[in-house]
Amino acid sequence: MSFNWPVGINATKEKLGEQFDNLHLDTRISASHAKPLSNIDPVVTPIYHSSTYRFKTVQQFNEHNHGSNFVYRRCGNPTTENVEVVINEIEKGAGTLVYNSGLAAISAVFLEFLHSGAHLITMAPIYSGTSSFINETLKRFGVEVTFVNVETETNFADAIEKAIRPNTKMIYFETIANPSMAVPDIIGTLKIAKKHQIKSCVDATFSSPYNIQPITLGADFSLHSCSKYIGGHTDVIAGCVTTKSYDDWKALKLQQLTTGSSLSPYDAALLTRGLKTLALRVDRISQNAQKISEYLEAHQKVQQVFYPGLKSHPGHKFAAETMKQFAGMIAFDLGTAQNAINFIESLHIIVHAVSLGGTESLIEHPYSMSHGAQLLRDPTGATVSPGLLRFSVGIENVDDIIADLEQSLNKL
């Protein structure tokens, strides 16, 4: 039989020779490790959980890029670098950084590119965590803020331009606003930012990176809560920022080393796995959501439906000119809070939970859950209708989702 599979080599023993055998057992256990194969190239990047990396010489440590090595997990890791490479490929930027949450990514951009006395123009409504960071942290550090309402301004880009001051340093907005699904004039706003040489940052979480790539449209930063469509399986909290320029990437990278906001390799591996099916999931979800929003719009018990893929949606034009599809977030109004609560509690398949972007359909009642209390203290005066429901469409068979909606609507 010619079975010649080699036994793994103990790298420390190979280096020390006989000297190694003279060491005590406990030391030999501690010092033993398999010598890595020189041509190792796994199809799927492994989870490197080591917090630190061996160096052959002091000189190697001091070489450019530490002689093609990593140093310490907070500063970089092969598993997180792998997911950064994949996201950057989608986003077409200079580089991507992943963070331990979407909000960590958002706050990193604000903290790096704003300062005391700088002015930020942003959108209202905006994700409640982002709005809290702006109102409770940035303002405390002396950043001036103007909110421009995407639901009430007839010309959003124009209103943004009018809000510009000599000290305006950043324009920040979302591609689809939560919970009304309002869509700003993305191209127009990015043009204004460019014209005035102000940095622009786009949170494209609700659209998914598969449907829109803000950097190709002129944004300086594109960011996502990867906890949503990128992870895609409701089992990871993570965020990412992709920059248009390498200088901005370097500034954020240096900041990440000192704030310690990098992503764990376990979560990075979940993101890598999620990304493998991003296209399939987002195609299916977008198709499902289009059919479901049309069904809801035609239903007499539904007062209003907000989905960027509907022609009736006020931001449809802006969504259609920038997005491949319109992803899975639908809001619809059942008139009263009681109707909305009764409806949610009668559903069989659609899960009653916050968050979005996973394979399963999720629904929540913003007025009494994610948005009610927060909006009461929102300085922009944003409101949410008591009968509004926020629905994250999943990958289930669309007929079964519609049947679940139907049976619950019939009970109202």
Ligand X SMILES: Cc1ncc(COP(=O)(O)O)c(C=O)c1O
Active site residues: 74, 127, 203, 228
Taking CB under 6 A as the binding criterion, the range among 99-107, 149-157, 160-168, 328-336 that sits at the site for ligand X is 99-107
Residue 391 contacts residue 385 (beta carbons within 8 Å): no
Q: Which of 148-176 are b and which e, b meaning 16 or more Cβ less than 10 Å from the residue's Cβ?
A: bbbbebeebbebbbebbeeebbbbbbbbb
Q: Does 133 interact with ligand X (rule: CB under 6 A)?
A: no
Closest CA to 73 of 49, 51, 46: 51
- What are 97's strand-pairing partners? 241
Q: Does 401 interact with ligand X (rule: CB under 6 A)?
A: no
Q: Which of 88, 207, 227, 385 binds ligand X (CB under 6 A)?
A: 227
Query: What Rg, from alpha-carbon coordinates, does the chain have?
Result: 25
Closer residue to ligand X, CB minimum distance, 13 or 390: 390
Taking CB under 6 A as the binding criterion, the range among 115-123, 145-153, 203-211, 392-400 that sits at the site for ligand X is 203-211
Residue 271 contacts residue 83 (beta carbons within 8 Å): yes
Taking CB under 6 A as the binding criterion, the range among 65-73, 200-208, 276-284, 290-298 that sits at the site for ligand X is 200-208
Q: How far apart are CA 24 and CA 20, in angstroms?
A: 9
Binding-site size for ligand X (CB under 6 A) equals 14
Closer residue to ligand X, CB minimum distance, 346 or 355: 355
DSSP 9-20: PBHHHHHHTHHH
Cα dist from 134 to 147, 234, 397, whole Å: 10, 26, 40
Q: Does 203 interact with ligand X (rule: CB under 6 A)?
A: yes
Residue 328 contacts residue 356 (beta carbons within 8 Å): yes
Q: Which of 127, 156, 306, 318 binds ligand X (CB under 6 A)?
A: 127
> Residues 149-178: x/- map of binding to ligand X (CB under 6 A)?
-------------------------x---x
Taking CB under 6 A as the binding criterion, the range among 202-210, 250-258, 342-350, 381-389 that sits at the site for ligand X is 202-210
- Min dist CB 353 to ligand X, Å, is 12
Binding site for ligand X (CB under 6 A): 101-103, 127, 129, 174, 178, 203, 205-206, 225, 227, 237, 239
